[in-house]
Every structure is written in structure tokens, then in C-alpha cells.
Amino acid sequence: EIVLTQSPATLSVSPGDRATLSCRASQSVGGNLAWYQQKPGQAPRLLIYGVSSRATGIPARFSGSGSGTAFTLTISSLQSEDFAVYFCHQYDNWPQYTFGQGTKLEIK
Amino acid sequence: ELQLVQSGVEVKKPGESLRISCKGSGYDFTNYWIGWVRQMPGKGLEWVGIIYPGDSDTRYSPSFQGQVTISADKSISTAYLQWSSLKASDTATYYCARHVGMRGVVLADYWGQGTLITVSS
């Protein structure tokens, strides 16, 4: 099983500032890494796929980068609606897909 | 409009059986994988398994193999997740999600609203 480790567990950031979330994989996932946003009581929403491609309707302030085993989600200028939990997800190791444990992004 | 609509909240006792559903609309249900994801209370996401309604090819994450059964009825654009004997540890919200891509590399792009299952004596 590929284990995804996200850091930090909680990130406190002020609105308008930049947030950088990390995801590290226990082995290479190639380019098959995605990021999801989840708000309380809601289903996850796809933000980024293929490491760096934004999903339909996702604002340009969200960007993904990385390769192999180390990945980053950056939110360039935090808006109030961005405070949520973020999960990374590898869809490389079929059918043993896994998610990271999540990073909670909270208002500072 | 693309939608995945899941069945409602369930409260069950240990040992009971259960089947929850996920109905797709607004797209060609037959030609997209439908996967299931578990989220235990206050916890992260766990990928359960997936089915291709077109030919019923079904795969399970090893952690869930033998614990649940995934099926689909393409004639009514509905996928199912079922248990033969529930345990308290099955208490969670279960999401279905449409997956895009080719067999082996598929990605969840649209999600259902989730079905909360509570198993308690």
C-alpha cells in the first residue's frame, strides 16, 4: 500500500496570505496525484489532478506541483471560502488507491 | 446536469444486512467507473472499491475485500454497496463517486452527497 503523509496536520493562515500544503508518498506515484477540498458536512471536491492540472471551475489561486514522492498544493491568496480540509490522493496503485490523512486549513 | 444521488441515512444493528445506492444522471452511466469511499466519523477518506457498470468489472481495496460487495444495475443507472452482516466499525459516511480514466488509472471527479450509516445495538 502506498502511504501518503500530509503536513502539517493543521495550518493557520490569515485571509489574503499564501498557504502551502505538503503530501509525501511512501513510493513513487508517477503523475497520478490529486487534491480534494472538503468542507464540513459536504462531499469532497476535486481541485487538482495529474499533480498540477486544475479541475473544471477551480480558481487559478489553487496550484499543484511536485513529482515522484513529494507534492505541494499552494493557495496563493486565501479567501474565506478556502478554509477547509484538504486531502491528497494517489490513483496510481490500482486497485489500492489511498488518501492522505488531511490538512485542516484554519483562519489565523 | 451531472448528479449522483445516494440513498438516505441508515440506522442498523450489528449483524443486520444493508444495501445503499447511488443513482447517476446527466451522463452516460454505463461508460464511467463508480467507486465508493468511506469516511469514519471525524476521520479521513478510505477508498473501498470500484465497478464499471458497462461490464460489471469490480475491484476492491484489499482492506475491504470480503467485507463489502459492490454491484451495479446499468438499466437504472444505479450502483450499490452492500453488507451481509454489519459491525459497529462500519459506522461511517459512504460516498459514491464517478471516476474518469482508463482501467487502472481512474480519478474521482464527481461525488454523491454521502450516506451516513450508524451501526449500534
In the prediction, which pLDDT does A26 show?
A: 97
Cα distances (angstroms) measured from residue A37 to each of A2, A84, A86, B14, B45: 21, 7, 5, 32, 12
Q: Is B111 on the interface with A (CB under 8 A)?
A: yes
Across the interface, whether the CB atoms of A99 and B111 are under 8 A apart is answered: no
A2 and A60 Cβ atoms separated by less than 8 Å: no
Point out the residue among A1, A43, A102 whose CB comes nearest to the CB of B44: A102
Neighbours of A53 (CB within 10 A): 12
- Looking at the predicted structure, is the pLDDT value of residue B65 above 90? yes
A103 and A85 Cβ atoms separated by less than 8 Å: yes
Point out the residue among A1, A34, A99 whose CB comes nearest to the CB of B107: A34
User: How far, in whole angstroms, is CA B38 from its chain's centroid?
Assistant: 8
- Measured between beta carbons, which residues in chain B are less than 8 angstroms from residue A43? 95, 111-114
User: Which amino acid would we find at residue B88?
Assistant: A
A64 and A72 Cβ atoms separated by less than 8 Å: yes
Q: What distance in Å separates the CA atoms of residue A95 and residue A86, rounded to the nearest whole number?
A: 22
Q: What distance in Å separates the CA atoms of residue A55 and residue A63, rounded to the nearest whole number?
A: 10
- Looking at the predicted structure, is the pLDDT value of residue A34 above 90? yes
- Looking at the predicted structure, is the pLDDT value of residue B44 above 90? yes
Beta-carbon contacts of B84 under 8 Å, excluding residues fewer than 6 positions away, are B17, B69
Region B72-92 average pLDDT: 98
Region B70-74 average pLDDT: 97
Closest CA to B50 of B28, B75, B22, B76: B22
DSSP strand pairing (A103-107 vs A10-13): parallel
Region B20-38 average pLDDT: 97
Which grid cell is B8?
Answer: 438516505
Across the interface, whether the CB atoms of A97 and B105 are under 8 A apart is answered: no
- Looking at the predicted structure, is the pLDDT value of residue B103 above 90? no
For the four alpha carbons of A101, B81, B63 and B106, in that order, the dihedral sign comes to negative
The neighbouring-strand residues paired with A33 are A90
Across the interface, whether the CB atoms of A43 and B111 are under 8 A apart is answered: yes
Region B10-33 average pLDDT: 97
- Looking at the predicted structure, is the pLDDT value of residue B102 above 90? no
B117 pLDDT band, cuts 50/70/90, is: very high
B104 pLDDT band, cuts 50/70/90, is: confident
- CA geometry: angle A41, B110, B19, nearest 5 deg: 70
Query: What is the residue-wise DSSP string for B1-69?
Result: --EEEE---EEE-TT--EEEEEEEESS-GGGSEEEEEEE-TT--EEEEEEEETTTTEEEE-TTTTTT-E
Give tens-digit pLDDT for A51-82.
999 999 999 999 999 999 999 999 999 999 99
Region B85-97 average pLDDT: 98
